[in-house]
A and B are shown apart, each in its own frame.
Chain A
Amino acid sequence: MSLIDLKKSSVSKAKKKKVTADEFIADAENYAAGKTSVVSSAKTNLDQPIMTKETDWPKNQLKKCKSTKRHATFTLSEDAIVQLNLLSKESQLAKSHIIRILVNECCHEKNWLYYLNQKLIN
């Protein structure tokens, strides 16, 4: 079997975040723990809508990219559905994308459980 399909498929260079030597070294522990690593270029930035057209993707990447997300079903209240529709209309983002942003923000809170409880109280 040929090894050629392992060649780098994209030549675009994402700008690396500046790090100090100590940060670079300590980051090995993030990598070992499966957390987001400063050296990783495969990080998804959920703050920016992804507008790439599928037709722009290389054929061999299309299948892979499609598999990075999957369908999930949740139960929402009528109010939440109306609010989500409104948010989607005003931001021009897909509803799923808005949910991903909110989940991501919540997870970046240091004490995410406390953060969620505070939201429930308010």
Chain B
Amino acid sequence: MMILVGGEKGGSGKSCLAQNLAVYFTRDKNAIVLMVDCDPQRTTSDWIQARNTDPTLPAINCIQLYGKIRNDLLSLNQHYDYVIIDCGGQDNLALRAAMSVADHVVIPLRPKRRDLKTVPHMEDMLSTCKMVNPKLLASFLIAQCPALPSQLKRINEAKEVCSSYGINVLNAVTYNRNIYDDSEEQGLSVLELDPEGKAALEMTAIAEELMAMTPDDSYEFN
């Protein structure tokens, strides 16, 4: 299964989500996982490097690929249970190539105007992509939400904005928590640093929601 974590907005937590999903499938599902880092910033590659210094952690393979990577991904997908692709925050060849073959695309967005303004272009791109990849399941994830109860309205509004474009929005959200940064520094996942913590529950909820989706084979989003 190929899961793409991408989008046009930088800093929305794409690498963090990709890394935590990779650990979830490796640790909780005993799966063989490959991470594909398409971001020239190499955030995920650096995280894997930090992770490899600790032999007690379950190993995750990672490669860097750029450009027209469609055939590479199709080939790699045959050798791994899960291929998790981390694409940098821009519409580029790698993002489109990955989208054209992925089973899932998850687009994290913060509940901020500047992030939500990328939704129309993402919808255009996703609906065109459906013509070449009918199995694609696309979801927006509202990420790095403010934890104050007074900000709940803002989170719901962000979900409403994304839903109005006809693309699925995950029920699960992530909140702005220091543990995401702390775990990344050490090459860990929040699932490893604090398995019972709130962040671990958020990541598990996202993975389980993705896995519970019914496979699609349609040329349009409903």
| Cα A24 to Cα B133 with chains together (Å) | 11
CA distance A25 to B154 in the complex (A): 34
Q: Is the CB of A21 within 8 A of B128?
A: no
Residues of A9-37 contacting chain B, CB below 8 A? 16, 18-21, 24-29, 31-32, 37
Within 8 A of A (CB), among B133-172: 133, 154, 157-158, 160-161, 164-166
- Count residues of A near B (Cβ-Cβ below 8 Å): 26
- Does B132 have its Cβ within 8 Å of any Cβ on chain A? yes
Measured between alpha carbons, how far is A37 from B127 in the docked complex, in Å? Answer: 13
Residues on B lying within 8 angstroms of A by beta carbon are: 68, 70, 90-93, 95-97, 100, 111, 113, 116-117, 119-121, 123-125, 127-129, 131-133, 154, 157-158, 160-161, 164-166
Instruction: Pick the residue among A6, A7, A26, A31 that contacts B117 (CB under 8 A).
Output: A6
- Min CB–CB distance B215 → chain A (angstroms): 19
Does A39 count as interface, using CB distance less than 8 angstroms?
A: yes
- Main SS class of interface, A: loop
Q: How far is it, in angstroms, between the C-alpha of A26 and the C-alpha of B128 when the chains are bound?
A: 13
Task: Report chain B residues within 8 Å CB of A65.
Answer: none
**In the docked arrangement, what's the CA distance between A37 and B128, Å?**
11
Residue of B nearest to A16 (CB): B128
Which residues of A, 23-78, contact B by the 8 Å Cβ criterion? 24-29, 31-32, 37-42
**Across-interface contacts of B124 in A (CB, < 8 A):** 37, 39-41
Q: Can you list 11 A-B pairs with a CB-CB distance of less than 8 A? A: A1-B113, A8-B123, A16-B128, A19-B128, A24-B100, A24-B129, A24-B131, A24-B132, A31-B91, A32-B92, A40-B124
